[in-house]
Amino acid sequence: MKAAMWRGVEELHIEEVPVPTPGPLDVLVKVAACGVCGTDVHILEGKFPIFTPPRVIGHEYVGSVAAAGKDVTKVKVGDRVAVEQGLPCDRCYFCRDGREHLCTGRYAHPGGFADYTCVLERMCHKLPDGLSFEIAALAEPVACVLRVMDLTQVRSGDIALVQGGGTIGLIMTQVLLHGGITKVILSEPVPHRRALAKAVGAIVVDPKTEDLAAILKKETDGLGPEYVFDCVGHPSLLEEGIELVQKGGTVFVVGVADPAGVASIRPYRLFEKEIRIKTSYMRPYTFARAVRWLPHLNLRPLLGVEYPLAETKAAIHALRQSKGLKILVKP
């Protein structure tokens, strides 16, 4: 089979590798689509410390069951599934403390930029009837947003600022509005992303040409939003969020930052506003719920840019250049 093998900084090659053979509890998945994530950009640039080359990357993928081990009981050949990447060791302190996502021995199977992958049955989630593979490929980012919601515990009737109108920002906006937030103000400099944000219910602001602080005061009776969600991961947005959030509010870092990025924070400002800074890592215990969410979100506008497996590197570069929102690679 063919697979996109990452071998170092800006080194991603289509290679011939053996089709994996499933063990007793394994499922062989024929990949239908794999989304390109911002972390794939960081990986290709050599800035993501979790992985080391060589490896097949791509963690937002869906497909159909091509073969199943003899002890597999929950899926069968032909079933359509979304695959949850990352397997905890189940032995370390964090796993035994109910925090599997912080596992010190976590294992990630070869990814979805390939013709086939082989994973444990427990990592496969059957798709709702009638749901397209393209929409289903968004299960992983939806799961990440649900993790944020679990940790934030938003109050019905509050107001939120979302910084960034990429895939996560647009999904975040919809889930917030579904979850009781009455108003989402979304800050995004790219015009086509602002148009999509408006279409999914946000009040959009161009931070390059408009006064975001003044608009927030107008929309919140001068108080500022109760929540600020940085869906980009840029240090300057954390700094901005601290200034714009309401007293007693929460600034939530959702986007994945460059590991070398540094934000400048005045501790006294945190003290006088009594604000909380929160973060999320991975998406523990949310993937099954994310699959159930998929038919209820307006995700089709996020799609439209697709590349064949042979052009995986070009697909990652396209995301870096903001040529699309959720770019898909299709083997």
> Would you name the residues annotated as active-site residues?
39, 42
DSSP letter assigned to residue 104: T
Instruction: Indicate the angle between helix axes 212-219 and 235-244, nearest 10 degrees.
Output: 40
Amino acid letter, residue 178 = H
**Alpha helix locations (H) across 85-153?**
93-96, 133-136, 139-152
Q: Where are the extended beta strands (E) located within 73-146?
A: 80-83, 116-120, 124-126
Separation CA 97–CA 60 (nearest Å): 27
- Sole residue written with tokens 């929160």: 278
Distance, CA of 233 to CA of 278 (rounded, Å):
13
**Long-range interactions of 84-92: CB distance < 8 A, separation 24+:** 84/123, 84/124, 84/125, 84/140, 84/143, 84/287, 85/59, 85/109, 85/111, 85/123, 85/140, 86/59, 86/282, 87/120, 87/123
| Tokens found for residue 15 | 């290679």
The DSSP call for residue 100 is: G
